[in-house]
Amino acid sequence: MPLDSQSQAFLDYLSSLGNPPSEKISPQEARRNFSKIFQSPGPKLELVEDRFIPSINGEIPIRFYKSSKSKKLPLLVWFHGGGMILGDLDSADGIARFLCAGAECSVVSVDYRLAPENKFPAGLEDSYNVTKWIFDHSNDFDTEPNQIAVGGDSAGGNLAAAVSIMSRDKKLPYLVHQLLVYPMLDCDFTTDSYIHNSEGYLLTKSSMKSYWNYYLANEDDKNNPYALPLQLKDYSGLPSALIITTEFDPLRDEGELYAKRLKDSNVPVVYTRYDGVFHGFFGRPTLIDKGKKAMAEACLSLREAFNKSAK
SS3 track for 3-52: CCHHHHHHHHHHHHHCCCCHHHCCHHHHHHHHHHHHCCCCCCCCEEEEEE
Q: Distance between CA 158 and CA 160 in Å, rounded?
A: 6
Bridge partners (DSSP) of residue 270 are 242
- Write down the pLDDT at residue 20: 92
Collect the ranges in the chain with pLDDT lower than 70.
1
Q: Are 161 and 224 in contact (CB under 8 A)?
A: no
- Asked if 126 is an active-site residue, the reply is no
Q: Are 244 and 160 in contact (CB under 8 A)?
A: no
Q: Are 244 and 182 in contact (CB under 8 A)?
A: yes
∠ Cα 174 175 180 (to 5°): 155
- Asked if 154 is an active-site residue, the reply is yes
- Write down the pLDDT at residue 1: 66
- Write down the pLDDT at residue 77: 99
Q: Which of 7, 177, 279, 309 is catalytic?
A: 279
116-131 confidence digits (pLDDT tens): 999 999 999 999 999 9
CATH of domain 5-310: 3.40.50.1820
- Write down the pLDDT at residue 40: 76
Give the alpha-carbon dihedral of 252, 255, 258, 259, to 10 degrees.
-100
Strands 47-53 and 60-66: antiparallel
- In this structure, what DSSP letter does residue 227 have? T
Q: Which of 4, 221, 249, 253 is catalytic?
A: 249
- Sequence length of the chain is 311
Q: Are 127 and 112 in contact (CB under 8 A)?
A: yes
- Asked if 265 is an active-site residue, the reply is no
Residue in 73, 43, 71, 49 with CA at minimum distance from that of residue 62 = 49
Helices (H) and strands (E) in the chain, counts: 9, 8
Q: Which of 22, 40, 154, 210 is catalytic?
A: 154
What is residue 78's three-state secondary structure?
strand
